[in-house]
């Protein structure tokens, strides 16, 4: 069991966290992990690179299927970027 001093300090930390980052405080209170934007951004950049690579390979190689895959992948990544910034 925590002492009175420890409980008081924890309450101060909780109030401070609620004021500075209410989203994190709510996630901790509900037992959910906060969403990682870094992982999402890294994954989106990797998909961007793959889409551009497919498009360039499709333009170099005489294969219209690779070009079509590159165009579709690039369209999907552009749509994802636009949808992400509207939120």
Question: Could you tell me the two tokens for 61?
Answer: 């190689």
- pLDDT value for 34: 60
Distance CA 49, CA 1 (A): 53
pLDDT by residue for the chain (87 residues), tens only, comes to 778 988 898 888 888 888 888 877 787 788 776 667 778 888 888 989 999 998 899 889 888 898 898 899 989 988 888 887 775
Question: Could you tell me the two tokens for 56?
Answer: 């360039």
> In sequence order, which residues have a C-beta less than 8 Å from that of residue 55 and are 6 or more positions away?
67, 70, 71, 73, 74
Burial code (b: 16+ CB inside 10 Å, e: under 16) for 28-60 equals eeeeeeeeeeeeeeeeeeeebeebeebbeebee
């Amino acid at each position: 069991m925590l002492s009175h001093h420890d409980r008081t300090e924890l309450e101060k930390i909780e109030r401070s966290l609620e004021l500075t980052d209410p989203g994190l405080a709510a996630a901790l209170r509900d037992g959910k992990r906060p969403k990682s934007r870094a992982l999402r951004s890294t994954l989106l950049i990797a998909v961007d690179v793959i889409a551009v690579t497919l498009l360039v390979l499709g333009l170099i190689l005489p294969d219209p299927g690779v070009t079509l895959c590159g165009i579709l992948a690039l369209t999907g990544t552009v749509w994802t970027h636009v949808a992400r910034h509207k939120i």
